[in-house]
Amino acid sequence: GENVEQHPSTLSVQEGDSAVIKCTYSDSASNYFPWYKQELGKRPQLIIDIRSNVGEKKDQRIAVTLNKTAKHFSLHITETQPEDSAVYFCAASPGGTSYGKLTFGQGTILTVHP
């Protein structure tokens, strides 16, 4: 089955700096890669996703890049703010009728210091 590795496990940055989280996956059949943000005690919420026919996608301060050949994808957050502090999860899915069949990475605890 699919295996997703996520690094780093913790990330501490100053407000205004950029943050980068990286993930690798093992199953070449995966073609949908969402990123979820989870605040303490709350549900995971999608912040951005990318499909395998796209190499990069951007939404305001958040961007995701995908390298299917190398089987890795990354989340980039620019101009970080204290409210960006949360746990971030990458995931991979085979798509098709199974977009929600997600294999998650271990999570990255992001702390943005004011």
Partner 1 sequence: DAGVIQSPRHEVTEMGQEVTLRCKPISGHNSLFWYRQTMMRGLELLIYFNNNVPIDDSGMPEDRFSAKMPNASFSTLKIQPSEPRDSAVYFCASSQAPGGGNTEAFFGQGTRLTVV
Q: Which spans of this chain sit near partner 1 (rule: CB under 8 A)? A: 1, 32, 34, 42-46, 49, 89, 95-107
What three-state secondary structure class fits 9? coil
Extended strands (E) in 52-99: 56-59, 62-67, 72-77, 86-92
Q: How far apart are CB 94 and partner 1 at their closest, in Å? A: 10
What three-state secondary structure class fits 14? strand
Q: How far apart are CB 104 and partner 1 at their closest, in Å? A: 4
The DSSP code sequence of 25-47 is E--TT--EEEEEEE-TTS--EEE
Q: How far apart are CB 92 and partner 1 at their closest, in Å? A: 12
